[in-house]
Amino acid sequence: MSNEASPSTLLNPPKSLSKKLTFLGPGFILSASIVGSGELIATTLLGAKAGFIALWVILLSCFVKVAIQVEFGKNAILFGKSLMTEINQLSDKKSTFSNWSIWGIGILTLLKILQLGGMIGGAALALSLIFPSISVGTSLVFLGAILPFFFLKNYYPLIERTASIMVFAFSLFTLFCFLSILFTPYSFNWEQIRSGLSFHLPKEYLFVAIGAFGITGVASDEIIAYTYWCREKGYAKYTGPNDGSDDWKKRAQGWINIMKLDAAVAMIIYTLITAAFYILGASVLYENKNLPEGNDLISYLASIYTETLGEEVKTMYLVGAFFALYSSVFATLAYWTRLFPDILGTLGWISESNKIYLIQTLAIFFPIAWIAVYWFIQQPAFLVLIGGSIGSVLLIIISYLGIVFHRKNKTTGVDSGVISALFFWISLVSILGVSLYGIVQSIQ
């Protein structure tokens, strides 16, 4: 099915909430991508280091950064073009080197193969802990081998449904384990939660808080990917090409509102899960002088569940951890099989007719590359950290493009109010500031 907007595909947006909910979906794929090793491992460790006092930073991070994601989604709806086509049109020069942003996104994303190696390795570890008779190596090969079958046809509905199932699974199991803590010696109370919502932060936790802000909520990958999911869901196609009419503006505003609802629902999901992991770290591991690192954290927390609540709850935690990690790998492959054909097609290196073959090839190549990375560098925490540093650089490009798209979107006269602009600039400044901090810390 084509994602291009045309007069024959116009559809007025639904007005009732129940019907609007049936058009949600891109955010579920995004949630599958967001909740991964960063939330499961890094957020839990941050809770362990800072305690409850920095909980508000986690919540603010998830809330404030969604505005720039919405701006990218808005551009996809208003202009109906793929992201790389939009970027390419920013330059007056028509050469393969016409826009540094395209090259930057492509090269930096390829470098994140290292990060995905750590993610699929973490998922393999979780699976081997659930089924001890299966080695990590066997789990790794199995998880990599089944991935391509989801993308050989690359149907959006299949990807959305699979991502939704994974999101439901890790949400259910994570929240169950979170509530189970209340029945252990590590239980927390309302006073501790309230201290984390006081907007107070001791100076010694400033750097920890900045780090927490950088790793939670939407990142560069999710912001880019969201444009593809919005187009494939049909938001741009239903809006149609801009003919300057009031009807078009009403349709555009209606579908943008549904896109915002989609982004808001996704934000609620990943905020709840992220906060749950943070509180888990703050209640169980705070002031622990021998904090486990990386994927050892999964084994450590699983052992705590065994000691306090039994094998059944331990298994529930591991299943939730598996779905959280593997959903990120799944959603990333779905995104990359769209991004790289878009890049190569925009640069004129492949024809439209060759894109399907390239998608199928990439669906096989990337899992093999991720497995190889973990096979030779079995340090998942280190690999994820490298990916985070690369993401900080990529966010600089996203911030630049966000400003350009914000200005271009305003020219249509749709959704150009003061409040929308205010949230965008707050989002932009926060993302840009934290990404610059991340780069400086990486250099040091």
What residue ranges of the chain have pLDDT lower than 70? 1-8, 37-38, 91-98, 207-208, 211-212, 214-215, 293-295, 380-381, 385, 435, 438-444
Q: Which residues of 118-143 are buried (b: 16+ CB within 10 A; e: fewer)?
A: bbbbbbbbbbbbbeeeeebeebbbeb
Nearest residue to 73 via CA among 391, 401, 327, 329 = 401
Helices (H), 96-200: 100-111, 113-130, 136-146, 156-180, 190-195
pLDDT of the residue at 316: 87
Per-residue pLDDT of 311-362, as tens digits, reads 788 888 889 889 988 999 999 999 999 999 999 999 889 988 888 889 999 9
Q: Amino acid identity of 434?
A: V
Residue extents of the structural domains in the chain: 7-443
Is 151:334 a contact under the CB 8 Å cutoff? Answer: yes
Kind and range of the H or E element at 49? Answer: helix 44-50
A 10 A CB-CB count for 314 gives: 21
- Reference 282, options 196, 400, 366, 396; nearest CA is 196
Give one DSSP letter per residue of 159-187, joined into a string: HHHHHHHHHHHHHHHHHHHHHHGGGSTT-
Q: How many residues does the chain have?
A: 444
Query: Which CATH code is given to the segment(s) 7-443?
Result: 1.10.4160.10
DSSP summary character for residue 218: -
Do 254 and 11 contact (CB within 8 A), yes or no?
no
Q: What per-residue confidence (pLDDT) applies to 8?
A: 63
Radius of gyration of the chain (CA): 21
Q: How many helices (H) and strands (E) are present in the chain, helices listed first?
A: 21, 0
Side chain identity, residue 104: G
Write the DSSP symbol of residue 148.
G
Q: Which pLDDT does position 122 carry in this prediction?
A: 87
Tokens of 117: 């190696």
Q: For residues 217 and 58, give the distance between their C-alpha atoms in angstroms, rounded to a whole number.
A: 8
pLDDT digits (tens, 9 = 90+) for 97-126: 457 889 999 999 999 998 898 889 889 989
Pairwise CA distance, residues 313 & 437, whole Å:
39
pLDDT at 438: 61
The pLDDT of residue 368: 96
CA distance linking residue 195 with residue 193, whole number of Å: 5
* Distance, CA of 65 to CA of 41 (rounded, Å): 21
